[in-house]
Structure 1
Amino acid sequence: MVVLSVPPEVSVILLDIEGTTTPIAFVKDTLFSYIRENIRDYLLTHWGEEECQQDVNLLRKQAEADSHLDGVVPIPSQSEFGADDMERMIQAVVDNVYWQMSLDRKTPALKQLQGHIWRTAFAAGTVKAEFFEDVVPAIRKWRQAGMKVYIYSSGSVEAQKLLFGYSTEGNILELFDGHFDTKIGHKIESESYRRIAASIGCSPNNILFLTDVTREAHAAEEADVHVAVVVRPGNAGLTDDEKSYFNLITSFSELFLPAAS
């Protein structure tokens, strides 16, 4: 087994979710499929609620900002369609969400609506989050060693809490010291990692970031954050240059924490 020694200055472990703690297949085939199959029914059921209308308004503003992009689906307002034409407005929202998902976009508007739809599924027990088998034991070990553990994902903080609150391992939210999403910055921008360090109250050099995405790893490194790239079944392949450049692990159990001095 490969063993990667964690630098002694590291006191915080920052985790990606998709492809790192959780199989990509679960995210793509279960979570995203649930959105595609249930978004229309969700909107029909919740359309008159304030939260749903806030979600729609955010998507509408995002569509306006995206107006220069090919294929963007605008979301007309009630004044354009008429208050009674709910079906046509819902169809516009559905088409916009499908378009964004087809491009794997990470917009806060999309992630917020997705989180609210998933909330109904998790609360009903329709969906339970899955993790690689090494994840929870390793996190417990890190915390026992005095490490702080945070999540940084493109999914909304609310969606993250659903994953760790409704999982095959039960509710494990108590294992995490906090959560970050793209409101703090995009994951391929180095400044995001500096903001995370400032929010935690540590130096970037005190953080070890685990991710399966090399562009995120490069951004974190530029911010002076320690990085290891996680190689999991179903993840995108790495180039020979990436394999030789980055520290690689296939399991969280391969991280060796130095004894406290």
Structure 2
Amino acid sequence: MVLPVPPHVTVILLDIEGTTTPITFVKNILFLYIEDNVKEYLQKHWEEEKCQEDVDHLRKQAGKDSYLDGFVPIPCLSENNANLDQVIQGVVDNVIWQMSTDRKTTALKQLQGHMWRSAYVTGQVKGEVYEDVVLALRKWREAGIKLYIYSSGSVEAQKLLFAYSMEGDLLELFDGHFDTTIGHKVESESYRNIAKSIGCSTDSILFLTDLTKEAKAAEEAGVHVAVVERPGNAALTDEEKSSYCLITSFSQIVLPSKQ
């Protein structure tokens, strides 16, 4: 199957997990790194301004999450005679809880992004992309298509993955990055915000994602969509398969011929 791109599309917007990058990389490498190293990271960087900002954001998010089942509070040093070890453990427990429930809060993503920077820079982690991705990205760029990333992971985390990828530094291929600070991926307004930020109409954008709820939100905003089926991605229902254009490789996307 091939997916012809409408002639008026000038932007391709890409999800990461399950679209450019295997879900197994995110869950088994990136997330596991956070779980294994978050306590040591906090202990080492606690006095640094960036770390304190991350903790402050997490604590504010915790205040909003107090109604949720299994909620994990983050104490302050001034509360109930809590000592530093108890506060750090509270942050660790909150982070692990958020990750276990697949929360995608900006506060969590920012801390993760800062931790991953250290892992990428030191070579402990290298970004992974599917085999068909780099060739397609270069081909699209050569054709004049602008390329953007829209992921629930922070912009910093996105840039790290592509800057320190197994295929080398791929950042030059992208014109920009969006995360949940522009809006949540299941809300149609987010895609209008992205189009406005880029300076184009939503009808000029093709969005590639593995999740139909994101595809639905994008379509409602007037964005063209295709759902990517990759090994390990969530199985699609028959209804979902009949409702969306499906691709298994970026090589199936066909740009219009230049006259």
TM over 0.5: yes
Q: Which residue of 2 aligns with 1:3?
A: 2
Q: Which residue of 2 aligns with 1:165?
A: 163
Q: Which residue of 1 aligns with 2:189?
A: 191
- C-alpha distance in 2, partners of 1:24/1:87? 33
| C-alpha displacement of 1:98 | 0.7
C-alpha root-mean-square deviation of aligned residues, in Å?
A: 0.9
| C-alpha displacement of 1:81 | 5.2
Q: Which residue of 2 aligns with 1:180?
A: 178
Q: Which residue of 1 aligns with 2:56?
A: 57
Aligned to 1:122, the other structure's residue is in SS state: helix
Q: Which residue of 2 aligns with 1:72?
A: 71
Aligned to 2:53, the other structure's residue is in SS state: helix
Amino acid at match of 1:137: L
How do 1:16-55 and structure 2 match up within 5 A?
Answer: 16-55=15-54
Q: Is the 8 A contact 1:81 1:89 kept in 2?
A: no
Determine whether 1:139 maps to 2:140: no
- C-alpha distance in 1, partners of 2:150/2:165? 18
Q: Quick one: structure 1 residues 81 and 48, their matched pair in 2 at CA, closer, same or farther if it must change by over 3 Å?
A: farther
Cα deviation per residue 1:85-123 (whole Å; 9 max; x = unaligned)?
A: 211011000000011001100000000000011011001
| C-alpha displacement of 1:244 | 1.0
Amino acid at match of 2:207: F
| Runs of 4+ that moved beyond 3 A | none
> 1:221 pairs with 214, 219, 222, which one?
219
| C-alpha displacement of 1:209 | 0.1
- C-alpha distance in 2, partners of 1:240/1:149? 30
Aligned to 1:77, the other structure's residue is in SS state: coil
Q: Which residue of 1 aligns with 2:112?
A: 114
Cα deviation per residue 1:129-176 (whole Å; 9 max; x = unaligned)?
A: 000000010000000000000000000001001001111011110000
- C-alpha distance in 1, partners of 2:7/2:241? 24
- C-alpha distance in 2, partners of 1:68/1:4? 44
Amino acid at match of 1:35: I
Q: Which residue of 2 aligns with 1:250?
A: 248
| C-alpha displacement of 1:32 | 0.3
Amino acid at match of 1:52: C
Deviates more, 1:72-81 or 1:32-41: 72-81
Q: Quick one: structure 1 residues 103 and 216, their matched pair in 2 at CA, closer, same or farther if it must change by over 3 Å?
A: same
- C-alpha distance in 2, partners of 1:63/1:181? 20
| C-alpha displacement of 1:79 | 1.3
Number of aligned residue pairs = 259
Amino acid at match of 2:74: I
| C-alpha displacement of 1:25 | 0.3
| C-alpha displacement of 1:260 | 2.4
| C-alpha displacement of 1:68 | 1.1
Aligned to 1:78, the other structure's residue is in SS state: coil
Amino acid at match of 1:238: L
- C-alpha distance in 1, partners of 2:200/2:140? 17
The two structures have a TM-score, normalised by structure 2, of: 0.99
Cα deviation per residue 1:190-240 (whole Å; 9 max; x = unaligned)?
A: 000000000000000000000000000000000000000000000000000
